[in-house]
Structure 1
Amino acid sequence: MLIPYESLLRLPTSTVDNLIREYLLSQVEDGSFNELNDKAIQAATEKCRQALKKGELIVEYSEDDESVAIRSREQIIQRTPLSED
């Protein structure tokens, strides 16, 4: 289930910050994120917030394993099967 950006605005800031941190840490692990200093993390956090606002990144709740994660729009589109009419 995809969580609309407007719903994120109703969550405590710390909850959204934790989601963003988890997403950024996954970027470090896969090599997409080069630096790990405070300034770089702060800039990446703001960039992530803007991407969420623009819909480039989306928060997804998985009912199967009851987890929440930030994913790129492309990841979600690739995983979504096209319906055949």
Structure 2
Amino acid sequence: MLIPYEALLQLPKETLANLIREYLLGQVEDGSFASLDEQELAQAIVQCQQALKQGKLKLEYSEDDESFAIRSADQIAQQQD
């Protein structure tokens, strides 16, 4: 289930930042980023917030394992095809 951006605005800022931080750390692990220091992480969080607002990234809730994940809109569209 996709969570609308407007619903994300209802979350405490720290909760949203933690969801984004988890997504970014996953990107580091899979090689999408070489490394991430605190300044780069703060900048990447802002960029992810913008991508969520623009619909390029989506927050998805998995009912199967009761977890949340940020994924690219393209990745979600490919999975639905």
Q: TM-score range by the shorter chain?
A: over 0.9
Query: Which TM-score applies when normalising by structure 1?
Result: 0.91
Give, in angstroms, the shift of residue 35 of structure 1.
Answer: 2.7
Residue in 1 that maps onto 2:39: 39
| Higher radius of gyration, 1 or 2 | 1
Normalised by the length of structure 2, the TM-score is 0.96
Of residues 32-41 and 54-63 in structure 1, the stretch that sits farther from structure 2 once superposed is 32-41
Q: Which residue of 2 aligns with 1:79?
A: 79
Task: Point out 4+ residue stretches in structure 1 off by more than 3 angstroms.
Answer: none
Query: Residue 56 in 1 paired to residue 56 in 2?
Result: yes
Number of residue pairs the alignment of both structures matches: 81
Root-mean-square deviation (CA, aligned residues, Å) is 0.7
| Unmatched tracts of structure 2, length 5 or more | none
